[in-house]
Structure 1
């Protein structure tokens, strides 16, 4: 089926207390694994392309892969820009056809983040596409060990989350509640009370980034408290790389990329299926599709004049 946008999908998840898995794809095999896993679990899914992935492979190449997979899929698939950290990257992804966007202005002063996010939300909405914003900042574990004090200073407050949403018009909001990007070990516990307090103030679906490093039981608690979209990237990269390493170590003469690529793809698919079940989105594809069909939040045309260079 055609790609769908993320707005109705996330609203349905929010109202029904489960979460949509958002999985980062850096190549064809990972994208295939994500969509195949969603099909096998009959789950709605978001395939994410980060700004780093765009710099690696190009937005048009990666979008074409995701679109071709979605066209043949029986479950709703979103192609989402993850962590667009500058205005031009968000616009490039919109022009390429992405059906969901994120602008990450969390490293900017609050008012600057609001200004750019608001402008991008206006442009995206004119083109029929939802925009995710971020307030607070999810730290990067790859830059070194994070102390509890360091994590604490990045956390989102309910008051700033409310103000940010009201001023920008975003369709979903990424919040910092105790996770970190690029954690290689599941050890983080989330601030569940903070999530619940933010949810009281904010009406749009909440997004958890850096979930690869979060303990499963904390993920489940976060969903109950109000998280509706949960992002996984590092765990997929680990699964892909570990499978490649094992295959090439056991068969050092192997040179056929299809054979070791297939092994890596299957290992990623296993992880995605596990996460879909953890988020309780397995079996939800049909009801999500029904909700989407009844709730067309955006006009289905592209206003080219809204897309600026």
Structure 2
């Protein structure tokens, strides 16, 4: 089926109290593994690429892989731009055909973040594409090594979240509630009360970034509190590289990429399936497709639209 918008998936998840997994892909094997896992679990799925992935694989290259996989898939697949920091990259992803976008203005001042997000919301909504934004700051664990107390200075406040949403009308909002990017160990403890408070004042699905480092029990609690999209990247990277190390360690003369690549892909499939089960999105594909159809949220990108030329 064609790529679908994230809007319907997240609205359905919000209404039915589960979360959709958003998994980062940097290459073909990981993208394939994500779709294979989603099909095995009969779950809707979001494949997302960061600016780093786009720099590594090329925007058209990685988009073509995801689009091709989606066409042959039996489950709804979204192609999402993760952490679009540069305005031009967000617009480029929109032109390319991504069916969901994120603008990350969290490094900017609150006012600048609002103004640029408003511009991009207008542009994206003109062609039926949803936009995710971030308020507060989800730190990078490799650069900060912050304690739980130190991380609180990055937290999203309900007041800021409410004002940001009212002024921008974003389709989903990433919030900082205790997680961090690139954590290799599941040790983060989330501020669940804060999620409840933000959910009360923001009429849009909430997004949890850096979930690879969050304890499973807190992921489940976060979903109950209102988190609807959960991002995983480091866990997939660990699954892939861990398998590669093992294969090459056992057979240092191995040179056929297909042999060690296949084992690595299988390991990523296992990891993604575990995360889908954790989020409660297994066996949701059929009802999600029905919801998409009933609400006309299918999106087939048409290049050349004047709004994004």
Q: What is the CA–CA distance in structure 1 between the aligned matches of 2:149 and 2:191, rounded to whole Å?
A: 14
Change (3 A) 1:148 1:70: same
Determine whether 1:3 maps to 2:3: yes
- CA deviation digits over 1:104-145, x for unaligned, max 9? 000100010001111011111112110000000001001141
Alignment partner of 1:305 is 2:306: yes
Listed as ranges, the gaps of 5+ residues in structure 1 are none
Are 2:133 and 1:138 aligned? no
Please report how far the alpha carbon of residue 150 of structure 1 lies from its aligned counterpart in structure 2 after TM superposition.
2.1
Aligned to 1:87: 87
Distance in 1, Cα, partners of 2:72 & 2:263? 22
> Which residue matches 2:253?
253
- Please state how far the C-alpha of 1:149 moved relative to its aligned partner: 2.9
Aligned to 1:99: 99
Q: In the superposition, relative to structure 1, how do residues 71 and 300 fare at CA in structure 2: closer, same or farther (>3 Å)?
A: closer
How far off its partner does 1:295 sit? 1.3
Are positions 1:231 and 2:231 aligned together?
yes
Structure 1 residue ranges (4+ consecutive) displaced by more than 3 angstroms after TM superposition: 297-303
**Helix, strand or coil at the partner of 1:11:** helix
1:241 alignment counterpart? 241
Closer, same or farther: CA 18–299 of 1 in aligned 2, 3 Å: closer
CA deviation profile, 1:176-224 (whole Å, cap 9, x unmatched)? 0000000000001110000000000011000000000000000000000
Partner Cα separation in structure 1 for residue 48 and residue 298 of structure 2: 21
- Answer whether contact 1:128 1:300 (CA < 8 A) is retained: no
**1:33 & 1:240 partners in 2: Cα distance?**
10
- For residues 254 and 301 of structure 1, the distance between their equivalents in structure 2, rounded to whole angstroms, comes to 42
Does residue 293 (structure 1) correspond to residue 293 (structure 2)? The answer is yes
Contact kept, 8 Å, 2:199 with 2:225, in 1: the verdict is yes
- Aligned positions, number: 308
The whole-number CA distance in structure 2 between the counterparts of 1:298 and 1:58 is 25
Distance 1:43 1:114 in 2: 33
Aligned to 1:207: 207
**Does residue 1:162 correspond to 2:140, yes or no?**
no
Query: Does 2:8 align with 1:13?
Result: no
Query: Which range moved further: 119-128 or 237-246?
Result: 119-128
Measure the CA separation in 2 of the matches of 1:297 and 1:41.
22
Shift of 1:72: 0.3
1:180 paired with 2:180, answer yes
Contact kept in structure 2, 1:128 and 1:301, CA below 8 Å? no
Residue 40 of structure 2 is matched in structure 1 by 40
Provide the TM-score with structure 2 as the length reference.
0.98
Contact 1:125 1:298 in 2 (8 A): no
Supply the RMSD in Å over aligned alpha carbons: 1.2
Q: 1:297: Cα distance to partner?
A: 5.2
Following the alignment from structure 1 to structure 2, what is the Cα–Cα distance between the partners of residues 160 and 69? Answer: 39
TM-score, scaled relative to structure 1: 0.98
- What is the distance in 2 between the residues matched to 1:84 and 1:271? 25
Mapped contact 1:85–1:105 kept (Cα < 8 A)? yes
- Aligned partners of 1:187, 1:299: CA distance in 2, in Å? 38
The alpha carbon displacement at 1:86 in A equals 1.0
**Equivalent residue, structure 2, for 1:268:** 268
Segments of 5+ residues of structure 2 without an aligned counterpart are none
